[in-house]
Amino acid sequence: MSTRKSKVKLLKNMPGVVRASIDPFLVRATNNPERIMFILHRVTGVIIVLYLFLHIYVTSNTIDSARWNSLMEQFGASIVNKIGEFIVAGAVIFHGLNGIRLLLVEFFGVGIGKPEHPKPPYIAPSLRAAQRKAIYIVAVLSVVGWIIAGILIFTGYLELPL
């Protein structure tokens, strides 16, 4: 038995946390927008963390006012920065709204339906309950918020007079 055991190698068949967090086609389950929200939540979370480091670096320049002013001038002129800001705005809006949904669902058990006896077409109660509607609300509000953020960023409405 021991010789047989030493010969047999088990195949590790785990996709890993990174692939599971970014690949929406890893598991193609039907009727599951929750997974898309999970992936978007992770991706936007990473964007926000990266922005946070950048933000700390940029605000560390406030000690020197001349340098700060020149940095802000550069920032206002560069379209790359504006696109970056647009992406961060979208990430923050989505992550915040979806975070509220997740807080309600995960800590207070809101919107996951009630247990029931299985009957055709066998769709789990949590996939039909209020949290599913909350997903659509979050998606719509995020898109609307992102569009408004885009208008504010690209039209220069947010730029402070220097």
> What are the tokens at 65?
């006012």
Distance CA 49, CA 43 (A): 10
Q: Are 67 and 61 in contact (CB under 8 A)?
A: yes
124 lines the binding site for another protein (CB under 8 A)? yes
Q: How many other β-carbons are positioned within 10 Å of the β-carbon of residue 142?
A: 20
In the complex, minimum distance from the CB of residue 141 to another protein, in angstroms, rounded to a whole number: 19
Residue 107 found at the interface with another protein (CB under 8 A): yes
Q: Which is nearer to another protein, 83 or 109 (by Cβ)?
A: 109
Cα separation, 31 vs 114, in Å, equals 19
Residues 6+ apart with CB under 8 A from 40: 94, 98
* Residue 32 or 62 with smaller CB distance to another protein: 32
**Tally of CB atoms within 10 A around 153:** 19
> Residues 22-51: x/- map of binding to another protein (CB under 8 A)?
--xxxxxxxxxxxxxxx--xx---------
User: Could you say which of 40, 88, 93, 105 contacts another protein (CB under 8 A)?
Assistant: 105
Among candidate residues 35, 42, 23, the one with its CA nearest the CA of residue 132: 35
2 interacts with another protein by CB under 8 A = no
How many angstroms from the chain centroid is the CA of residue 20?
14
Member of 49, 52, 54, 109 binding another protein (CB under 8 A): 109
Nearer to another protein, 14 or 66 (CB): 14
Buried b (16+ CB within 10 A) or exposed e, 122-132: eeeebeebbbb
Query: Minimum CB separation from another protein for residue 144, in Å?
Result: 21
Q: How many residues bind another protein (CB under 8 A)?
A: 52
Region of 57-65, 69-77, 86-94, 109-117 interacting with another protein (CB under 8 A): 109-117
The footprint of another protein (CB under 8 A) covers 7-21, 24-38, 41-42, 102, 105-109, 112-113, 115-118, 121-127, 129
